Amino acid sequence: MKTKQIKKLLYIISALIFGLASCKAPKTITTEKVRSISTNRLIKSIEENAFEYDWLSIKRIACQYETPDDKTSFRANLKTEKDKRILLVFHKLNVPVGRLLLTPDSVKLINYLDKNYLLKDYDFLSNVVNAELNFDVVQSVLSNTPFSYRDDPRNNDYKEFVSYIDSGMYVLQSLKNRKLTKIEKKGKEDKIDRYLKKLDEENFIVQSLYVDPFTFKIRKIILDDRSNNRKVDIEFSNFTEVENQLYPENIDIYFESPSNSLKMKVKLSKFSLEEESNFNFRIPERYKQVH
């Protein structure tokens, strides 16, 4: 498999994974004062309003993908069985070009163009897109529930999170702005190392979730990796009803890093919560494995 082709496909896949977050239709933000609530209450409210599903299918996904050196469009569809598997199939001019299967511990990809396949873990996918990914993060995004990149051994992943109001929305953030300013103040770079050591983390990632104050659904996700100077920004708009729940029809996704930038516009349609039996992922016998 050509390096450029696989990276392009995996960038696209990861952008879709980050972006496919379900949200109920937000009311128009007005000048009405938003009532302050505690961080714990905000997290609980988001979880209580999470998108409920055992099975989810999105039969039509239209994407426009752009980097400084490349621009293309394609279609895809998605099927997922909660806690078990997620299948993405990609098409170009109605011809299948790739098939991705995610399970809690594996990443499997078939490339029909080059007639080969790969079997990897999430470290590989995370390295390709310059952002941390695992099955739990993907599933949290699909159900529109808050997630934390922290892995606290005391099951307190949100210990450092704070909340505030900005532009008529609640913001759930992994670090206070005042503390962030102090940590990054010139001459105090060692504060970052001490802060990461305290949290037992490798990378300094500031995570911000913008939440609708009426529906408690996530409207925007920002993942700002200050250690590696890379950033993911996802915005949701145009919501449609899916069996008494609403899902975004349009998603704008942006990746930025010192070595790469990516912009993607995604349009979604034809949703279903019906049980799916066909999760076909058969690797043709003559296909070669890529290591």
CA within 13 Å, CB half, 63: 28
Task: Describe the chain by its helix, strand, coil percentages, rounded to 5.
Answer: 20, 40, 40
Phi-psi sector, 80: left (phi>0), alpha (psi -120 to 50), beta: beta
pLDDT tens-digit readout, 110-162? 999 899 999 999 888 777 665 667 888 888 777 666 666 555 444 455 667 89
Element (H, E) at 7: helix 3-19
* Interacting residues of 252 by C-beta distance below 8 A, sequence separation 6+: 234, 235, 237, 263, 264, 265, 266
pLDDT of residue 98: 92
CB 64 within 8 A of CB 250: no
CB neighbours of 40 closer than 8 A, spacing ≥ 6?
A: none
Lowest mean pLDDT among 4-8, 9-13, 107-111: 4-8
Which CATH code is given to the segment(s) 3-279? 2.50.20.10
Here the tokens at position 31 are 């000048």
Q: What is the pLDDT of residues 20-75, one digit of tens each?
A: 543 433 444 444 588 999 999 998 998 888 878 999 999 999 988 888 888 888 89
- Inter-helix orientation angle 122-129/3-19, to 10°: 100
Question: pLDDT tens digit string along 188-235?
Answer: 555 544 444 444 445 677 889 899 898 888 888 888 887 778 888 888
Tokens linked to 129: 């897109």
Output the CA–CA distances (angstroms, integers) from residue 139 to 85, 112, 181, 230, in the order listed: 10, 26, 32, 22
Neighbours of 84 (CB within 10 A): 13
pLDDT > 70? residue 279: yes
Distance CA 25, CA 40 (A): 23
**Closest to 105 (Cα-Cα) out of 86, 77, 127, 90:** 86
The whole-angstrom separation of Cα 180 and Cα 227 is: 13
